[in-house]
Amino acid sequence: MARVIVDVMLKPEILDPQGQAIVGACGRLGFSGIEQVRQGKRFEVEIDGEADGARLEEVRRLAETLLANPVIEDFELRVAD
Amino acid sequence: MTARVGVVTFPGSLDDRDAVRAVRIAGAEPVPLWHADADLKGVDAVVLPGGFSYGDYLRCGAIARFAPVMGELVPAARSGALPVLGICNGFQVLCESHLLPGALTRNRSLHFINREQRLRVESAGTAWTGRYTAGEEITVVLKSGEGRYTADAATLDELERSGRVVVRYTGGAPNGSDRDIAGIANEHGNVVGLMPHPEHAVEALTGPSEDGLGFFTSVLAHLAGTVPAGADRSG
B148 to chain A, any CB pair closer than 8 A? The answer is yes
What pLDDT is attached to residue A19?
96
* Whether residue B29 lies in the annotated active site: no
Domain residue ranges of chain A, discontinuous segments joined by +: 2-79
What pLDDT is attached to residue B1?
72
User: Percent of chain A beyond pLDDT 70?
Assistant: 100
Residue range of the domain that includes B161 = 4-223
The overall average pLDDT reported for chain B is 95
Please state the domain count of chain B: 1
Buried-exposed string B47-56: b where 16+ CB fall within 10 A, e elsewhere: bbbbbbbbeb
Q: In the Cβ-directed half-sphere of B77, how many Cα atoms lie within 13 Å?
A: 27
Neighbours of B220 (CB within 10 A): 21
- What phi, psi does A66 have (nearest 5°)? -125, -50
Q: Is the dihedral angle over the CA atoms B10, B15, B18, B22 positive or is it negative?
A: negative
User: Among partner residues B102, B106, B108, which is closest to A71 by beta-carbon distance?
Assistant: B102
* Whether residue B122 lies in the annotated active site: no
- Domain for residue B26, yes or no? yes
ipTM summary value: 0.89
- Give the gap in angstroms from C-alpha B9 to the nearest C-alpha of chain A: 21
A25 to chain B, any CB pair closer than 8 A? The answer is no
* Whether residue B197 lies in the annotated active site: yes
Give pLDDT < 70 ranges for chain B.
226-235
- Domain for residue B173, yes or no? yes
pLDDT tens digit sequence for B42-57:
999 999 999 999 999 9
Q: Do B106 and A18 touch (CB under 8 A)?
A: yes
- Domain for residue B156, yes or no? yes
What pLDDT is attached to residue A47?
94
Residue A78 has pLDDT above 60, yes or no: yes
Q: Do A15 and B105 touch (CB under 8 A)?
A: yes
B109 to chain A, any CB pair closer than 8 A? The answer is yes
Tell me the CATH class for A2-79. alpha beta
pLDDT tens digit sequence for B177-203:
999 999 999 999 999 999 999 999 999
Cα(B77)–Cα(B209) distance, rounded to whole angstroms?
30
The CATH code of the domain that includes B168 is 3.40.50.880
pLDDT tens digit sequence for B217-234:
999 999 998 655 555 444
Q: How confident is the model at residue A81 (pLDDT cuts 50, 70, 90)?
A: confident
